[in-house]
Amino acid sequence: MTNSKSRFTLGLALACAAITFSLAVGAQAQSVTVIAAESSLGMVLATDGNFYGAGNTPGNFNGGIFRMTPTGEISTVYGFCSQLNCSDGTQATPPILGSDGNFYGVAVFGGATGHGVVYRLTSAGAYTVLYNLCSATDCLDGNQPQAVTWSPSGTLLGVTNLGGDRNGGTIFEINLTKNHFRTLHSFDASVDGGNPFYALTLANDGNFYGVVGDPYAAGYIFEVTPAGVYTSLYNFACCGLGTNPFGPLLQATSGKLFGEMEYSHHVTNSGSIFQLLNGIGPSVQPVPVAGKVGQNIIILGNGLTGSTRVTFNGVAAAFTVESDTYIKARVPLGATTGTVSVVTSTGALNSNPQFVVTK
């Protein structure tokens, strides 16, 4: 199945040899090294310090999840369609890391119904199907899942490209503690767009934001609360800014949300970048988002000059303010997975996403 937005289009095919070259940027030489050969749809940094991604693994064009070490050594963690009739799914999109240290994701096709699954995978390769899409009559629960997003409450929120009561796709939630699935919203292309492809973005106000294209108009930005309340925030048809928003939204530490449009009304045959101001306050962002006790990290933000305290899930940390936009901090003894907080001269700023303390 070929589609201009296909999630299965191979990523950059990297050369096998480790090739290093330098670029002169100002007075500093930037070194870029190709360390591995892998066709990848995306990767995530895990708690063991390795990278995990989805793509076509060697000998398996049904897709799989691979592990890459920081030095570029690649191994297959799980290959899809390894169970009878592809009951484990086929053609996975990139996994996400849960705060429990496991990976969660979707396979767009396959499963017990043939219409995709939501799965959990450990770093050791233990694989579990959490839900088979299209289990409900007429696929009212959704068909062809595209992505999931981790919620701080321990639930998964995801989108499907098809299914629902108008066959325009759905937003769903899986409560992992209660092992419960529910559909939060069914898209209607004639009302609020349809056929979403991209993961929801968890903002620091606790709500989820996303975009959806629209064959009838120009596309929409929407919000979903943790309680499952859906609100269409913006219709791109209103103001001639462009059409067909795509890709997940990104949140800056200022609180603003940024996204892309495939077509701009201002430049022929070009896209554009937009920002959404929705009254969301500022935050800080730890980089990386996972690390061991004693590891040094940086914390990005704005207005950090004069900060007096940094905590990791309530445990005070040693830190230095390097500039108004970043802090260096050390993961303290006793820290656990949770929110990184910075007390600035104007108040406390909390991290988005949460910081995962690794073993």
Report the CATH number at residue 354: 2.60.40.10
Give CA–CA dist 201/213, Å, rounded.
Answer: 16
Give CA–CA dist 166/155, Å, rounded.
Answer: 25
User: Given this model, what pLDDT does residue 268 score?
Assistant: 65
340 and 213 belong to one structural domain: no
Q: Pick 6 or 149 by higher pLDDT.
A: 149
User: Given this model, what pLDDT does residue 25 score?
Assistant: 43
User: Given this model, what pLDDT does residue 2 score?
Assistant: 38
Residue 332, classed as helix, strand or coil, is coil
207 and 335 belong to one structural domain: no
Average pLDDT score over residue span 297-322:
97
Lowest mean pLDDT among 66-70, 97-101, 106-110, 116-120: 97-101
Residue 95 is given by DSSP the state: P
Burial environment of residue 342 by CB neighbours within 10 A (0 to 12, 13 to 18, 19 or more): buried
In a domain, residue 3? The reply is no
Does the pLDDT of residue 160 top 60, yes or no? yes
Considering 276, 293, 322, which residue would you say is the last residue of a domain?
276
The residue ranges of DSSP E strands in 153-255, in sequence order, are: 155-162, 170-175, 180-186, 201-202, 208-212, 220-224, 230-235, 242-251
In a domain, residue 313? The reply is yes
Does the pLDDT of residue 144 top 50, yes or no? yes
User: Given this model, what pLDDT does residue 24 score?
Assistant: 43
108 and 241 belong to one structural domain: yes
**Judging by DSSP bridges, how do beta strands 319-321 and 315-316 pair with one another?**
unpaired
Asked whether the bond before 288 is cis by omega within 30 degrees of 0, the reply is yes
Residue numbers of the domain that contains 99 = 42-276
CA-based nearest residue to 234, from 249, 246, 223? 223
User: Given this model, what pLDDT does residue 10 score?
Assistant: 30
Q: Pick 347 or 268 by higher pLDDT.
A: 347
Asked whether the bond before 353 is cis by omega within 30 degrees of 0, the reply is yes
Give CA–CA dist 32/44, Å, rounded.
Answer: 20
92 and 238 belong to one structural domain: yes
Q: What's the pLDDT band for 189 if we cut at 50, 70, 90?
A: confident
255 and 295 belong to one structural domain: no
Q: What's the pLDDT band for 58 if we cut at 50, 70, 90?
A: low
126: Cβ contacts below 8 Å, ≥ 6 apart: none
Dihedral-angle region of residue 192 (phi above 0 means left; psi in -120 to 50 means alpha; beta otherwise): alpha
pLDDT tens-place string over residues 215-240: 567 899 999 998 899 999 999 888 77
Give CA–CA dist 220/276, Å, rounded.
Answer: 12
User: Given this model, what pLDDT does residue 4 score?
Assistant: 38
What does the chain come to in residues?
A: 359
pLDDT tens-place string over residues 1-49: 334 333 333 333 332 333 333 444 444 566 666 655 555 668 888 878 8
Structural domains counted in the chain = 2
User: Given this model, what pLDDT does residue 26 score?
Assistant: 47
250 and 123 belong to one structural domain: yes
In a domain, residue 203? The reply is yes
User: Given this model, what pLDDT does residue 102 score?
Assistant: 92
Average pLDDT score over residue span 139-159:
94
Residue 301, classed as helix, strand or coil, is coil
183 and 71 belong to one structural domain: yes
Residue 36: how many other CB atoms lie within 10 Å: 17
Residue given tokens 């820290």 in the structure block:
335
In a domain, residue 243? The reply is yes
In a domain, residue 35? The reply is no
Query: CA dihedral in degrees (103, 104, 106, 112; nearest 10)?
Result: 100
User: Given this model, what pLDDT does residue 216 score?
Assistant: 63
In a domain, residue 16? The reply is no
105 and 200 belong to one structural domain: yes
**Judging by DSSP bridges, how do beta strands 356-358 and 290-292 pair with one another?**
parallel
| pLDDT > 90 in the chain, percent | 64
Average pLDDT score over residue span 51-68:
85
Does the pLDDT of residue 295 top 70, yes or no? yes
In a domain, residue 130? The reply is yes
217 and 351 belong to one structural domain: no
| pLDDT > 70 in the chain, percent | 86
Give CA–CA dist 235/65, Å, rounded.
Answer: 36
The CATH number of the domain where 244 resides is what? Answer: 2.120.10.80
Considering 242, 276, 310, which residue would you say is the last residue of a domain?
276
Q: In degrees rounded to 5, what are phi and psi of residue 178?
A: -95, -5
Give CA–CA dist 194/227, Å, rounded.
Answer: 22
Alpha-carbon dihedral sign for residues 216, 219, 223, 224? positive
99 and 207 belong to one structural domain: yes
In a domain, residue 22? The reply is no
Lowest mean pLDDT among 43-57, 83-97, 177-191, 247-261: 43-57
- Supply angle C-alpha 281, 289, 70, rounded to 5: 150
272 and 289 belong to one structural domain: no
pLDDT tens-place string over residues 242-291: 888 988 999 999 999 999 988 877 666 678 899 999 999 999 999 988 88
- Choose the most confident range, by mean pLDDT, from 1-15, 107-121, 249-263, 342-356: 107-121
Lowest mean pLDDT among 104-113, 133-142, 259-268: 259-268
178 and 268 belong to one structural domain: yes
Considering 254, 276, 298, which residue would you say is the last residue of a domain?
276
